[in-house]
Structure 1
Amino acid sequence: MRTDSKEHEHIWLQVTSGRGPAECQLAVARLADVLEKEASKQGLACVLLDIVEGRERGTALSALLSLEGEGARAFAHRSRGSVLWICPSPLRPGHKRKNWFVGVEVLAPPDAGATALRTADVAFEAMRASGPGGQHVNKTESAVRATHRPTGLVATAREERSQAMNKKLALARLAGLLAEGANAAKADAERDRWAQHDALERGRPVRTFEGPSFKERK
């Protein structure tokens, strides 16, 4: 595989169930497996960096994949957004709902971009997560705010229930802001955008899978 700067790409791909039920978490695990296999067929190096397991066996609250190689970004953007799985619940027989949504986001790794990001220059602050969900909203301090001391740029992550995962996501987003040459106002906009990430965009899926076999609808 050629690795010159014009062709070699390195990105992160986050798959999340948001605050969806166990069926959405099952879809996360299935989709992560599909993406790994598709990336391999395309000749990309795909590594599962982290996975937050759900309560039910074989499910995942979220998964973080690393993709490297020519065409990695184009590959990732094909699944970016909302992904729908249409299937009667395999976990709750007789349940009426059949549509399960998960979210996919493309991120820049902390070491990517022309502007170097040193972890030593970043101040992390734990915050109490907030947003929709009523009694199901995360009441613990799992949200993370990452501040780049030299520039004052700020990025936050609050959609995951794991503080460790939110820390990784906040760092990745901060790296993206630096790579883009963003200013403080742009960082504020980025923070506000991610504050709304709890609610996955439903109704306009970029990919749709069906049935227990998780086969893609063409």
Structure 2
Amino acid sequence: MEEKLQQVKERFEEVQTAMSDPAVYDDPDRYTELTKEHAELKELVEDYDQWVDIKNQIEGNTELIEEGDDPEITEIAREEIEELKPRLEKLEEEIKYKLIPKDPDDSKNVIVEVRSGTGGDEAAIFAGDLFDMYRRYADKMGWKLNVMTLSESEKGGFKEIIFGLEGDEVYSKMKYESGVHRVQRVPETESQGRVHTSAATVAVLPEAEEVDVEVNTSDLRIDTFRASGAGGQHVNKTDSAIRITHEPSGVVVECQEERSQHQNKEKAMKMLRTKLYDAKVEEQRKERAAERKSQVSTGDRSAKIRTYNFPQSRLTDHRINLTLYNLEDIMKGDIDEVIEALRVEDNLEKLNAIMEQ
């Protein structure tokens, strides 16, 4: 750990030197980048300096005890060591977690895609239940939810629903939800009372800003069509719905939830940038996954991550073998305990990987 901290301190000093270079002032983007890095490193360097100071005090007192020239001084040295050791251990734990690199996407808003999977009508109903769970969770977190596009199922729920979440640190909380969610329960349509297994998929994408990905308008094909979902009197009367095709990649997005064509186009462009940004970082995710065999994956959306067993009121997250028996509360949006457990496990894995380097 000390070697890692020394590297951090050296980088901090490099950044300080670079910031004092007059040429940097002529490059506002570079100066902003250095200022941000300086702020991120400063707290860790201060902790490191404090750690070195406490460590030196302990070593100094240990030498006094070993010399043993004066019993009174020896006793004071022992008392100081007993006081300093817990402080050192606490500081070490704090430093370890600060060494974990911050996910640059954690502060971003997200676009969430929920789709029914295997299980027919019951899968669509479950997709609707998942959307309702996230809607309630967003309310508790004070986030803003915007539905972008949806396809309703005849028996209830959704074949697909795509929505945005805006607020503080949204991706840092929601990123662990990507994957296959499986439900085990007796469907309302089942007369024999048999438990069925169905599934829905969830994809959580960090929302891309214009600076994250460049979209050339000449690469886009924009089509308008009449909205077919909810939306009021304009439905099926005006061509307000928008479909955008990014021809180089083949990515297609559409939005029909707003009343005006302009608003739908704005939302569709946001979805398109996010899709392209997600594709851009997918290779990086694969590289990270290859380097670190993570249980708490945020990239593999085909993996079965969780089971919701209604007869037993049980939720099991298969990535960390977490089992809870408060499914009713969880479906009402009380998913903090699950997300926090996943976050802690993810940080432990990252920390172990850093310590092994």
TM-score scaled by structure 1?
A: 0.59
Structure with the higher helix share, 1 or 2: 2
Partner of 2:120: 21
1:106 is the counterpart of 2:209: no
- Residue 191 of structure 1 is matched in structure 2 by none
Identify the residue that residue 169 of structure 2 maps to in structure 1. Answer: 71
Relative to 1, partners in 2 of residues 1:77 and 1:100: Cα closer, same or farther, differing over 3 Å? same
Task: Give the strand-richer structure, 1 or 2.
Answer: 1
Among 185, 188, 200, the residue aligned to 1:87: 185
Over aligned residue pairs, what C-alpha RMSD do you find?
Answer: 4.2
Count, aligned residues: 170
CA contact (8 A) 2:138 2:145 kept: yes
Match 2:308 to one of 197, 209, 216:
209
SS at match of 2:251: strand
Amino acid at match of 1:154: G
Within 1, Cα distance between the matches of 2:278 and 2:187? 42
Q: What stretches of structure 2 of length at least 5 have no aligned partner?
A: 1-103, 224-242, 258-264, 284-300, 317-323, 325-357
Q: Which AA in structure 2 matches 1:89?
A: P
AA matched with 1:52? S
SS in 1 for 2:168: coil
Q: What pairs with 1:1-218 in structure 2 (closer than 5 Å)?
A: 8-18=107-117, 20-56=119-155, 58-94=156-192, 96=194, 98-109=196-207, 113-117=211-215, 121-123=219-221, 146-148=245-247, 152-155=248-251, 174-176=272-274, 178-179=276-277, 182=280, 201=302, 205-211=304-310, 216-217=315-316, 218=324
Structure 1 position 52, deviation (Å) = 1.4
Larger radius of gyration: 2
**Aligned equivalents of 2:127 and 2:266: distance in 1?**
18
Q: Which has the higher contact order (CA 8 A, sep 6+)?
A: 1
Q: Secondary structure at the match of 1:78?
A: helix
TM-score (norm: length of structure 2): 0.38
**Distance in 1 separating the partners of 2:277 and 2:249:** 12
